């Protein structure tokens, strides 16, 4: 199957996404309505994983269903190859492209996850992860589970936006800027920017438990999905190799702390993550070989961050056990039970 190409002289992300918002006041024609929309994600993808985590932390599973594309795809992008018959069971389509074309025939841009699809019409409503998760956290409150955390607290918003912007440009996107660089100069510059930002985060997180203080917020979700991919993928495949995550003590402790918090690690599928990057980006890994390492059992080791105080869910509570249908299938994943103990 033909793979896409990813390297550019100097990688820039096409951020021209579908701008529609799903809101309480339906200002773009899309009202908050439980049962109407389907989140299409892929556990492999860091941007999609943010929506997966936020949906679970807030307990929106019954309000917004979820479909998962398989980890690898060709130049035509994501397929529902994990589902029986290769069709998404609700949308009854084999490829995510069909939902993009369902809204905009011959959709000319990237067929990306996450995407929220309007089930009655079968068309994509939005594919822009940042407003998507902000709207989940602020517009769907009537449908949250009891004890759902406030992931976007009003008094922190201005500072959060600043932190999230820096994390997005320098870290979330920074690893891609290294990996897809098409020249030595572009790579050198990207590498410098990435590790400058990681040093900033290392310092920030040495003295506080979470990015915004004593409780988790959307800013932590955004950073976590990059950190969890760092050693298995970005360090080797994207050449982000000044050091590994496990060599940055505060960030490594922080990443494990989140991983061991219900709603984070229990959504992570390391097998799919590795398959996705190493198989799909053939222009930087022409053999498609997926490396065996690294050993991932260290994600469940004690992190010692309790001494910094804080409570992950603030005044709320942890989400309950993950629904059987949504459990991560990989046999080689560390899986944790509701008490945070390793099950496999
Ligand atoms: N739409 C996302 C970006 C998502 C994105 O780039 N996803 C990648 C996977 S991690 C994707 O779907 N790529 C499609 C492709 O490579 O064809 C955002 O909101 O920033």
Does residue 263 lie within any of the structural domains? yes
pLDDT of residue 344 exceeding 50, the answer is no
- For the question of residue 100 being annotated catalytic, the response is no
Does residue 71 lie within any of the structural domains? yes
Does residue 4 lie within any of the structural domains? yes
Residue 215: which region, alpha, beta or left (left: phi > 0; alpha: psi -120 to 50)? beta
Tens digit of each residue's pLDDT (9 = 90 or more) over 144-174:
999 999 999 999 999 999 999 999 999 999 9
The torsion of the CA quartet 265, 269, 275, 278, rounded to 10 degrees, works out to -10
Q: What is the pLDDT of residue 138?
A: 98
Contacts of residue 12, Cβ cutoff 8 Å, sequence gap at least 6: none
Pocket perturbation via mutation, ligand 1, pick of 75, 110, 116, 133 by most ligand atoms within 8 A of CB = 110
Closest approach atom of ligand 1 to CA 45: 10
Q: How many helices (H) and strands (E) does the chain have?
A: 9, 4
Does residue 186 lie within any of the structural domains? yes
Does residue 322 lie within any of the structural domains? yes
Does residue 143 lie within any of the structural domains? yes
Tens digit of each residue's pLDDT (9 = 90 or more) over 173-198:
999 999 999 999 999 999 999 999 99
Q: How much distance in Å is there from the Cα of 95 to the middle of ligand 1?
A: 15
How large is the average pLDDT for residues 197-208?
Answer: 98
Q: What is the pLDDT of residue 148?
A: 98
CATH number at residue 161: 1.20.1050.10
Does the CA dihedral 200-206-212-218 come out positive or negative? positive
Q: What is the pLDDT of residue 239?
A: 98
Which residue in the list 176, 191, 277, 278 is annotated as catalytic?
176
CA–CA distances in Å: residue 292 to residues 270, 274, 295, 296: 11, 9, 8, 11
Instruction: Please name the residue that has the structure tokens 């049962």.
Output: 35
Q: How much distance in Å is there from the Cα of 195 to the middle of ligand 1?
A: 23
Cβ atoms of residues 52 and 41 within 8 Å: yes
Would you give the DSSP letter of residue 336? B
b/e map of 73-98 (b: 16 or more CB within 10 Å)?
beeebbbbebbeeeebeebebebbbb
DSSP states of 273-324: HHHHHHHH-TTT-TT-PPP-----GGGGS---GGGG---TTTTS----SPPG
Number of separate domains in the chain: 1
* Domain that includes residue 92, residue range: 1-338
Kindly list the protein residues whose Cβ atom lies closer than 6 A to any atom of ligand 1: 4, 17, 45-47, 77, 110-113, 127-129
Does residue 84 lie within any of the structural domains? yes
3-state secondary structure of 99: helix
Q: Is the pTM of this model over 0.85?
A: yes
- Which of these, 254, 65, 109, 270, lies nearest to 171 by C-alpha position? 254
Does residue 343 lie within any of the structural domains? no
- For the question of residue 240 being annotated catalytic, the response is no
């Amino acid at each position: 199957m033909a793979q896409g190409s990813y390297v550019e002289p100097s990688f820039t992300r096409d951020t021209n996404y579908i701008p529609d918002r799903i809101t309480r006041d339906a200002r773009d024609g899309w009202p908050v309505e439980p049962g109407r929309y389907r989140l299409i994600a892929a556990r492999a993808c860091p941007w999609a994983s943010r929506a997966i985590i936020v949906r679970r932390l807030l307990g929106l599973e019954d309000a917004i269903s979820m479909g998962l594309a398989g980890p690898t795809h060709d130049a035509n992008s994501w397929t529902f190859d994990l589902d029986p018959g290769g069709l998404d069971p609700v949308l009854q389509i084999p490829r995510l492209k069909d939902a993009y074309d369902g809204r905009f025939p011959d959709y000319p841009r990237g067929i990306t996850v996450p995407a929220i699809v309007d089930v009655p019409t079968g068309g994509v409503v939005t594919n822009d992860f940042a407003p998507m998760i902000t709207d989940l956290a602020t517009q769907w409150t009537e449908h949250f589970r009891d004890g759902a955390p406030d992931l976007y607290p009003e008094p922190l918003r201005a500072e959060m936006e600043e932190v999230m912007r820096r994390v997005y440009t320098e870290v979330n996107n920074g690893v891609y800027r290294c990996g897809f660089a098409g020249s030595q100069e572009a790579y050198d510059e990207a590498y410098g920017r990435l590790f400058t930002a990681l040093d900033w985060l290392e310092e920030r997180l040495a003295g506080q438990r979470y990015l915004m203080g004593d409780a988790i917020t959307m800013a932590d979700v955004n950073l976590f999905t990059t950190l969890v991919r760092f050693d298995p993928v970005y360090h080797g495949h994207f050449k982000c190799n000044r050091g590994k995550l496990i060599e940055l003590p505060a960030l490594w402790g922080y990443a494990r702390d989140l991983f061991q918090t219900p709603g984070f690690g229990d959504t992570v599928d390391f097998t799919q993550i590795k398959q996705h990057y190493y198989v799909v980006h053939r222009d930087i890994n022409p053999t498609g070989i997926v490396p065996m390492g690294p050993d991932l059992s260290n994600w469940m080791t004690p992190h010692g961050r309790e001494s910094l105080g804080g409570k992950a869910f603030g005044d709320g509570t942890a989400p309950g056990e993950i629904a059987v249908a949504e459990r991560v299938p990989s046999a080689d994943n560390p899986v944790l039970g509701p008490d945070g103990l390793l099950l496999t």
